[in-house]
């Protein structure tokens, strides 16, 4: 089977001065993970590692560099899905963890459950030895300054289409040498969100989906709209009947027409064909091509 890897670093009105950092973060993840896939790494391991790298990069709204909620706290959501078994793990509203996607995988593999949230997820993380960080370890000067800028603004809304701010949910989709598919998504959510708000990212079929019989997808954008149309599952289902890229485009059309929303998708179908589409001003994404070269885009 062809070995495939595609990654996104968010879709929205990414400020021009942040373009190069987005390209660099996506490229680094591609160039680090793809050689491991070539040497036999599983798709599940690949998407976890790719997302870990993006969670560590303060450029993105995931892990280090995430937006602050209305209380000035960082709450993180993530999901990981195994296309071979449809098993998934997800976490929501967790704090003080650099790699929520890895905690999501532990939930999938070491518990009888698929999703843990808030204090329960925190307790599980501590029980299995996850490092708990001080809040400052995830906070960047950029996000702190932005929080102070918007915190007292009565006109600010978490959903302002195409305002000059990043919405940098991250995600990865991979196909390994056995033909197995996997997807993962991780986010800090929207700026000044209500405490406890959960968007699409950790929701199966919305923020990500993977099924070896159809395809695998990760999404980014305005979560409330993405959840309405179960965007990832919608695109995967369409991959059964049309080319991968067309499935992604039709999924985004549904997001806009029925969900009244904005966002982007990346994916891979069962043939190893890539899919990507978005209706925001920008999306940061990249893939490895047939010549083993990273192709990275932000428009």
Residue pair 245/275 in contact by the 8 Å Cβ criterion: yes
Residue pair 134/95 in contact by the 8 Å Cβ criterion: no
Whole-number Cα distances in Å, 197 to 179, 210, 224, 252: 36, 24, 10, 23
Q: Are strands 263-269 and 274-278 parallel, antiparallel or unpaired?
A: antiparallel
Q: Which residues are catalytic?
A: 169
Number of Cβ atoms within 10 Å of the Cβ of 150 = 17
Question: CA-to-CA distance for 17 and 43, rounded, in angstroms?
Answer: 33
Positive or negative torsion for Cα 34, 132, 83, 201:
negative
């Amino acid at each position: 089977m062809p070995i495939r890897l595609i990654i996104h670093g968010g879709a929205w009105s990414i400020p021009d001065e942040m373009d190069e950092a987005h390209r660099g973060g996506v490229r680094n993840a591609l160039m680090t993970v793809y050689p491991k896939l070539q040497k036999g790494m599983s798709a599940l391991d690949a998407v976890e590692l790719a997302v870990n790298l993006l969670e560590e990069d303060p450029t993105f709204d995931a892990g280090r560099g995430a937006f602050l909620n209305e209380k000035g706290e960082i709450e993180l959501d993530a999901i990981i899905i195994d296309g071979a078994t449809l098993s998934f793990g997800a976490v929501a509203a967790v704090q003080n963890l650099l790699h929520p996607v890895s905690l999501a995988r532990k939930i999938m593999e070491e518990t009888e459950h698929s999703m843990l949230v808030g204090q329960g997820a925190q307790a599980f993380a501590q029980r299995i030895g996850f490092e708990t960080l001080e809040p400052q370890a995830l906070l960047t000067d950029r996000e702190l300054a932005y929080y102070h800028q918007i915190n007292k603004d009565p006109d600010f809304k978490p959903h302002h289409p195409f305002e000059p701010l990043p919405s940098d949910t991250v995600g990865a989709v991979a196909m390994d040498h056995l033909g197995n598919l996997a997807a993962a998504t991780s986010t800090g959510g929207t700026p000044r969100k209500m405490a406890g708000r959960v968007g699409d990212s950790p929701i199966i079929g919305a923020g990500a989906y993977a099924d070896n019989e159809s395809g695998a997808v990760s999404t980014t954008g305005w979560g409330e709209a993405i959840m309405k149309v179960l965007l990832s599952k919608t695109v995967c289902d369409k991959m059964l009947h049309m080319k991968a890229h067309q499935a992604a485009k039709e999924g985004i059309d549904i997001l806009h027409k029925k969900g009244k929303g904005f966002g982007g998708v990346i994916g891979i179908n069962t043939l190893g064909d890539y899919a990507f589409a978005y209706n925001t001003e920008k999306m940061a994404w990249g893939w490895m091509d047939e010549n083993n070269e990273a192709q990275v885009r932000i428009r």
